[in-house]
Amino acid sequence: MLGVGFDNLTREETVNACMKLIEKHASSYMVTPNPEIVMASWDNEALKTAAENADLVISDGIGVVKAAKILGTPLKERLPGIEICEAVIERLSDIGGSVFLLGAKPGVAEKAAENLKKKYPGLVVCGTQDGYFKDSEPIIEAINAAKPDFLMVCLGAPKQELWMYDNASRLDVGLMGGLGGSLDVFAGVTDRAPKIWQRLGLEWLHRCIKEPWRFKRIARLPLFMTKAVETRIKRTFNGHKG
């Protein structure tokens, strides 16, 4: 879609795909692009490459789902990264699987670990590390010593996508996911939008109201939608000609 290929899966299919990749234990990675990330990939070749090489690309934002519909290639569902992540954690908890929490401000991953262990007693949290490091080497070493089934990479976009792409071949993990502010939510540092906002597809608006600097980030959203309409018109026109 507009330069980024998405996996067209339901929630259940996505979680099953994650568990298969975890079983394979080949340092696979999942990206969860919203329209901002798709647009950022238009002028960031490295981000585009990172998305293209991902083992799973899921439709995190409502804008992505709407654009897919406009383009005539609808996606089955909106799949918020944090919900897929929690579903994977729940499955891991059932089988005594492990997770390593990487990202967010100092202390946040530890708090998230505490909350996750309370909620999912079978889960093994095999490591935590804040996201404000300069050198990746000692972090890779710590992750590889822990060999997690699942590595949450919460460094914000595009840092997390580039980090996963750059380091996948040196990591000893099952699956990793670029999961933005998920650790902040699990730690209770930030809240997700109330369910009704989520159901109405307005979670982005809620985040912008809470963190007004985000309005700047979504300013290009109308351009994203216009591009989707333009592309659909071009495709229809070319289709009729051909």
Q: Where are the beta strands (DSSP E) in the chain?
A: 28-31, 56-57, 98-103, 124-129, 150-154, 175-178
| Minimum separation from the CB atom of position 28 to ligand UDP (A) | 20
Paired with 151 in beta bridges are: 100, 176
Which residues sit at the interface with ligand UDP, rule CB under 6 A?
A: 103-105, 131-132, 154-157, 159, 180-181, 183-184
Measured at the CA of 190, the angle between CA 101 and CA 158, to 5 degrees, comes to 55
User: 25 or 159, CB closer to ligand UDP?
Assistant: 159
Nearer to ligand UDP, 19 or 37 (CB): 37
- Closer residue to ligand UDP in complex, CB, 132/215: 132
**19 vs 113, beta carbon nearer ligand UDP:** 113
CB of 242 to ligand UDP, least distance (A): 39
CB of 134 vs ligand UDP, minimal distance in Å: 10
Dihedrals phi, psi of 37, to nearest 5 degrees: -70, -40
- Provide the minimum distance between the beta carbon of 112 and ligand UDP in the complex, in angstroms, as a whole number: 10
Nearer to ligand UDP, 159 or 232 (CB): 159
Could you tell me the smallest distance in angstroms from the CB atom of residue 177 to ligand UDP? 11
Q: What angle do CA 40, 143, 163 make, to 5 degrees?
A: 15
Single-letter residue type at 32: T
**Is-contact 7 84, C-beta < 8 A?**
no
